[in-house]
């Protein structure tokens, strides 16, 4: 197991190198560069300036060098765990990311818990009553939700729940007077602000996990060990929840692989509509302004988490499924 882990970790390094190189080249090949954008951005007549000045600024950022040389420079700094400073506001990229991480992480965590808390019971129940009205109704419901566009739902909630009926706050994650509140007041304030964004992050995710659980329970229910359990005279309840569900959840673990990177990838639409300063907006703005260091920092960060997520999912398989083992004995 230890050897396996070491081997996997060693593979991660070249993979990361490859991912970062490809990302670096792609974003530098994309038309437009941060310096020219700062100049002509507003297309205001005041912005008439000489090319010489632009060139000097490009030199300053080493944008005049070949892409591979710039990549080498980036890599050199990365070894010292330095992602550089943003070209927009000169803040260290890591500071920019960590400043926005708690919000995105918090909202996504709540939304993931909700998705699993709703979808797994729903999928299981649907599978146990396959073809019945509950199965059909829940299937239709989750697909209906899945097909509702997030920008539209978010705007409708903003206008009706926020403005017309004046039920929920609409700007940000906390009120202006948040700091003056007591503990329960703070909790209430955060919850009220989080209701709409969390709903928008959650409702489209229900279909996938529900359907995955349903299929997987159905598959397990047809297997021989379930028939054996039934032959032993176990109660239906015990068969369904102790034996079938436990095995049926193995494929759901695959989702954990994508969980880690998804936790930090904010939704641009939800964050913009509800004025939430999260990772999604940061990524969006950094691409808009071609802020290379920030784009690289964020992509690298999510690449690391993706690879770690895959590794964790693989390890979890071994934990829940005794047929899978990573010990040296097997090829």
Partner 1 sequence: MKIQARAALILALIIFAGCGTGFRKEPRSFYFPLSGEPNYLNYVPYTSSYEASVIGYLYQSMQQIDYNRGSKLLPGLATNVTLSADKRTYTCYMRRDVTWEDGKPVTAHDVVFTCRMILDPKSGAQNKIAGFKDLAGFKALNDYTFRITFKVPDVTAKYTVAGLTPIPRHIWQGKDMRDKTLNRKPVGNGPFRLQEWKTGRHIILAANPRYRQQPKFYFNRIVYKLIPESAAQQAALRKGLLDAVVNMRAHSWLRMKERYGKGNKFRFFNYSTTAYSQIAWQGNGSNPFFHDYRVRQAMTHALNRPEIIRTLRKGLAVPISGPFYPTSWAYDRSVQPLAFDQQRAAQLLDAAGWKLNSSGLRTDSNGRPFSFEMMLPQGSTTGREIAVILKNALTRLGIRMEIRTLEWSVFNKRLNERDFTACIFSWNSTVDPDVYDLWHSSMRKTGLNLVGYNNPRVDRLLEQAKQAFDRNRRQRISHQIHREIHRDQPYTFLYAAKQLDVFAGRIKGVEPSPRGPFDAWPGLAGWTTAAGE
Cα-to-chain-centroid distance, residue 261:
5
Question: Is 26 a binder of partner 1 (CB under 8 A)?
Answer: no
Is 32 a binder of partner 1 (CB under 8 A)? yes
Rounded CA-CA distance 120/134 in Å is 14
- Out of 105, 150, 170, 313, name the contact with partner 1 by CB under 8 A: 170
Shortest distance, position 266 Cβ to partner 1, whole Å: 12
43: left (phi over 0), alpha (psi -120 to 50) or beta: left
CA 83 to CA 40: how far, in whole Å? 27
**Residue 29, interface with partner 1 (CB under 8 A)?**
no
CB of 329 to partner 1, least distance (A): 47
The distance in angstroms from the start CA to the end CA of the chain is 13
Scan for tokens 């010990």, then name that residue.
327
Interatomic CA distance for residues 121 and 155, integer angstroms: 30
Would the CA dihedral through 128, 129, 134, 137 be positive or negative? positive
Give the one residue of 159, 225, 230, 246 binding partner 1; rule: CB under 8 A: 159
Q: Using the rule CB under 8 A, give the single segment among 8-16, 35-43, 241-249, 317-325 that binds partner 1.
A: 35-43
State yes or no: residue 168 binds partner 1 (CB under 8 A).
Answer: yes
Residue 103 or 307 having the CB closest to partner 1: 103
**Site pattern 282..301 for partner 1 (x: CB under 8 A):** ---x--x-x-----------
Q: Does 106 bind partner 1 (CB under 8 A)?
A: no
The reply to whether 64 sits near partner 1 by the rule CB under 8 A is no
CA distance 208 to 255: 10
Q: Which of 127, 142, 153, 158 binds partner 1 (CB under 8 A)?
A: 158
Q: Does 5 bind partner 1 (CB under 8 A)?
A: no
Burial class, 13, CB count within 10 angstroms (exposed 0-12 / middle 13-18 / buried 19+): exposed
Burial of residue 273 (CB within 10 Å: 0-12, 13-18, 19+) is buried
Q: Are 37 and 290 in contact (CB under 8 A)?
A: yes
Q: Which residue's entry shows tokens 């260290």?
A: 92
Contact between 223 and partner 1 by CB under 8 A: the answer reads no
Name which position in 37, 101, 215, 315 contacts partner 1 (CB under 8 A).
37
Q: Output the six-digit token pair for 103.
A: 């919000």
Which residue among 5, 15, 18, 41 contacts partner 1 (CB under 8 A)? 41
**Applying CB under 8 A, what is the total number of residues that bind partner 1?**
66
Can residue 182 be called a binding residue for partner 1 (CB under 8 A)? no
Assess 323 for contact with partner 1 (CB under 8 A): no
Q: Report if residue 237 touches partner 1, rule: CB under 8 A.
A: no
Q: Looking at beta carbons only, is 87 or 255 nearer to partner 1?
A: 87
Q: Give how far Cα 55 sits from Cα of 46, 50, 59, 286, Å.
A: 19, 9, 6, 22
Residues in contact with partner 1 by CB under 8 A are 31-32, 36-51, 53-54, 56-57, 60, 88-91, 99-100, 103, 155, 158-159, 162-163, 166-172, 174-177, 181, 184-185, 187-189, 191-193, 195, 272-277, 281, 285, 288, 290
């Amino acid at each position: 197991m230890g050897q396996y882990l070491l081997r996997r970790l060693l593979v991660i390094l070249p993979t990361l190198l490859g991912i970062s190189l490809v990302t670096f080249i792609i974003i530098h090949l994309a038309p437009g560069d941060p310096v020219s954008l700062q100049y002509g951005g507003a297309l205001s007549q005041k912005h008439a300036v000489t090319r010489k000045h632009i060139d000097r600024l490009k030199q300053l950022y080493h944008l005049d060098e070949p892409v591979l040389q710039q990549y080498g420079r980036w890599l050199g700094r990365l070894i010292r765990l330095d992602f550089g400073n943003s070209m927009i506001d000169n803040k260290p990229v890591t500071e920019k990311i960590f400043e926005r991480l708690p919000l995105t992480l918090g909202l996504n965590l709540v939304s993931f818990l909700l998705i699993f808390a709703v979808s797994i019971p729903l999928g299981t129940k649907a599978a146990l009553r396959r073809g019945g009205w509950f199965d059909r109704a829940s299937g239709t419901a989750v697909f209906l939700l899945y097909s509702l566009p997030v920008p539209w739902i978010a705007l409708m909630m903003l206008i009706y729940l926020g403005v017309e009926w004046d039920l929920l706050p609409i700007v940000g994650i906390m009120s202006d007077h948040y700091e003056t509140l007591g503990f329960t007041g703070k909790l209430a304030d955060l919850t009220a602000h989080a209701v709409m964004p969390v709903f928008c992050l959650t409702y489209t995710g229900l279909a996938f996990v529900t359907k995955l659980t349903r299929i997987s329970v159905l598959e397990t229910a047809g297997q021989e060990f379930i028939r054996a359990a039934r032959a032993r005279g176990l109660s239906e309840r015990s068969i369904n929840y102790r034996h079938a569900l436990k095995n049926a959840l193995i494929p759901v673990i695959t989702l954990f692989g994508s969980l880690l990177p998804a936790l930090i990838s904010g939704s641009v639409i939800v964050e913009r509509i509800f004025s939430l300063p999260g990772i999604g907006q940061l990524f969006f703005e950094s691409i808009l302004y071609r802020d290379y260091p920030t784009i690289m920092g964020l992509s690298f960060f999510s690449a690391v988490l993706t690879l770690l997520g895959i590794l964790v999912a693989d390890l979890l398989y071994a934990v829940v499924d005794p047929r899978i083992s990573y010990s040296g004995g097997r090829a």
